[in-house]
Structure 1
Amino acid sequence: MKTNYSVLILVFLLGCTTVDYKEEVEVVSKIVLQGYIEEGDVSHVVLSTSVPIGSTVDTLSILKHLFLFAKVTVSDGTNSEVLIPQFDKNWIPPLIYTGKTIVGKSGNTYSIKVEYVGSVLKSTTTIPKSVPIRELNYVKNNPLDSTGYVFVKFDDPVNEKNHYQILTKVDGKEPVYVPAFYGNLNDDNFSSSDVNFQINRGVLLITSNQFKPYFSDGDFVFVKLRTMDKAAFDFWNDYQNEIVNGLNPIFPANTSLKSNIIGGLGIWAGYGVSVVSLQTRKQE
């Protein structure tokens, strides 16, 4: 089974003004769960601790906030499995708990339970029905340009409430799927069920390359259209707002992202999925 990853967001807290840094860490730090189960795939979960305002954030300090020995259990209501931790450099922190036997299905509900040194985190999510991508197009403002934008077309089901997220991955350039900039869509804002949306390439947080919102000639682009529930939509909207407001998107220091985790922070989300690829070419 081909596994597709999304970018992890570590959630910071602001809630303490103590002078002593050690005391602040003890008061503010909480467990953060970033996990999902997609239609046709197994569960993926990353655990970390939140980092208080004023602390140093770099590659080495991030490693101090991962969890090596947590027990992570996912259930579909009939069967349960304990996820297996493994190191993966494409995640931050680079440790991910992954399932093997329970595969996501549209309409099914999945619960998660995390047990770690006396702490217990719980949540549930349901995978919505997927909406297929109908078409992808590569469009340039000028035929002589070497860059352009990808447009995605899909049919929003009539008389249904849907929330969407668009992600992209450029083969050979990005190891993970990246949420598109302004890629969280609420169908309340659609003027028609026939959706034609320009994809603005998102920020790949784990690379030092300069951010570019467009794609280039010769790129082989994967586009993923996710359907999700309101809890996941609210979480990703908060994440998007951090970027729009010019704050640090991976470590938002002024606010906690909305969460559906009991006993901690973060998100446990089920996603319906449609994936289509496109080879960008020079216009003749």
Structure 2
Amino acid sequence: MVVLCKKTLPLLVAAIALASCVEDPYSHTQPQLVVEGWIDDGDFPTVFVTTSLPFTTSDTTDVDLVQHVLKWATVTVSDEEKSVVLTGRVMKHQTPPYGFTTTRIMGRSGHTYKLTVDCPPYHAEAVTTIPPKAVVDSFTVTPCLENDTLYQVMAHVSQQLDLPQDGGYKFFGISKCRDVNYKSCYMGLYKPENISPHSALPVYNLHRPNNSHFSPFFSYSDTLKIKFTTLDGPSYAFWDSFEDDVSLSGSPFFSTNSNLRGNVSGGLGYWCGYGSSVYYLQPPKKPCVEN
């Protein structure tokens, strides 16, 4: 089995467990509970609940995926003060287009949040802690010297934070003309030792599945919304395995037929707390081309 994030949102969105399409026996694999959820500092929780989808063909449509959404699940988020049952609702532009959220509980740095999902015969739990908020001092946005249609972004970060053990940093982004939800920035994961008083971290393009013309740089039509987050250890482990999967999936020498490392007990998937800061970037003025 391998967990695949079909369209990452903030993520990244619905993590669907997919069986290898090489052998027919996988078509009889028992479904498993799949949970994808997060809570940002200063924002409300969002959770998607599905069952895994074994298949023997690549022709899987969004309609097929919707049939695996558990709309009647009871999804609860608890902090040190209260426990709140989330409300299920249609979420346009998401995959799947149905999830759970609430405005009765908000993420706060330094606080721990427990997620519980009940939908008989399934029961799952996960815990995450929101680290201190990540901050970018400034961004450098410059044209690519090798290509007059692309530009590159560098984030200058100097603040060294006291992160949970094995935690780290992650970039997400939205291209205003192409996206509604956050997507993972390619190779956008950093350990604390990458941060120094003079750090310049590259911010690469957004990962989109099935993009055969990927460039790590941005085009001049991309007005960006960048989210820089801190992660606790289990959240970092999930995104580390996700980036390994993205990097190796195109290689004939490495297998990606393994589950992403999640922190959900009783199911597959993740529940992440993010210490987040959001920034808006305008593309640079396109350089003139001399005839």
Task: Please say which of residues 89-98 and 155-164 is displaced more in the overlay.
Answer: 155-164
Identity of aligned residues (%): 25
Aligned-residue CA RMSD (Å): 2.8
Contact 2:169 2:191 in 1 (8 A): yes
Match of 2:170 in 1: 165
Could you tell me which of 208, 226, 231 is aligned with 2:229? 226
TM-score (norm: length of structure 2): 0.84
Contact 2:142 2:284 in 1 (8 A): no
- Alpha-carbon shift at residue 13 of structure 1 (Å): 5.4
Task: Please say which of residues 227-236 and 134-143 is displaced more in the overlay.
Answer: 134-143
Match of 1:25 in 2: 29
Contact 1:11 1:256 in 2 (8 A): no
Could you tell me which of 187, 190, 198 is aligned with 1:194? 198
- Alpha-carbon shift at residue 171 of structure 1 (Å): 1.3
- Does residue 114 (structure 1) correspond to residue 117 (structure 2)? The answer is yes
- Alpha-carbon shift at residue 278 of structure 1 (Å): 1.1
User: How far apart in 2 are the matches of 1:279 and 1:175?
Assistant: 17
Contact 1:49 1:65 in 2 (8 A): yes
- Does residue 12 (structure 1) correspond to residue 3 (structure 2)? The answer is no
Which 4+ runs in 1 deviate beyond 3 A?
A: 13-22, 158-162, 207-212
Contact 2:131 2:274 in 1 (8 A): yes
Q: 1:80 to 1:259 in 2, by over 3 A?
A: same
Could you tell me which of 256, 273, 285 is aligned with 1:282? 285
Q: 1:247 to 1:99 in 2, by over 3 A?
A: farther
Instruction: Please give the residue correspondences for 1:56-205 in structure 2 after superposition, counting only pairs within 5 Å.
Output: 56=58, 57-142=60-145, 145-157=148-160, 162-188=167-193, 190=194, 192-205=196-209
Instruction: Please give the residue correspondences for 1:229-248 in structure 2 after superposition, counting only pairs within 5 Å.
Output: 229-246=232-249
- Alpha-carbon shift at residue 90 of structure 1 (Å): 2.2
Unaligned runs of 5+ in 1: none
User: 1:187 corresponds to which letter in structure 2?
Assistant: P
User: How far apart in 2 are the matches of 1:55 and 1:81?
Assistant: 40
Task: Please say which of residues 235-244 and 81-90 is displaced more in the overlay.
Answer: 81-90
User: 1:265 corresponds to which letter in structure 2?
Assistant: L
User: How far apart in 2 are the matches of 1:8 and 1:153?
Assistant: 28
Match of 2:45 in 1: 43
Contact 2:14 2:48 in 1 (8 A): no
String of CA shifts for 1:26-54, please: whole Å, max 9, x gaps: 2xx21010000000000000111122252
- Alpha-carbon shift at residue 18 of structure 1 (Å): 8.3
User: How far apart in 1 are the matches of 2:20 and 2:211?
Assistant: 31
Unaligned runs of 5+ in 2: 1-8
Contact 1:200 1:213 in 2 (8 A): yes
Q: 1:277 to 1:260 in 2, by over 3 A?
A: same
User: How far apart in 1 are the matches of 2:23 and 2:221?
Assistant: 53
User: 2:177 corresponds to which letter in structure 1?
Assistant: G
| Equivalent position SS for 2:15 | coil
String of CA shifts for 1:31-82, please: whole Å, max 9, x gaps: 0100000000000001111222525522221112111100001011211111
User: How far apart in 1 are the matches of 2:22 and 2:128?
Assistant: 35
User: 1:49 corresponds to which letter in structure 2?
Assistant: T
- Alpha-carbon shift at residue 253 of structure 1 (Å): 6.5
Q: 1:71 to 1:281 in 2, by over 3 A?
A: same
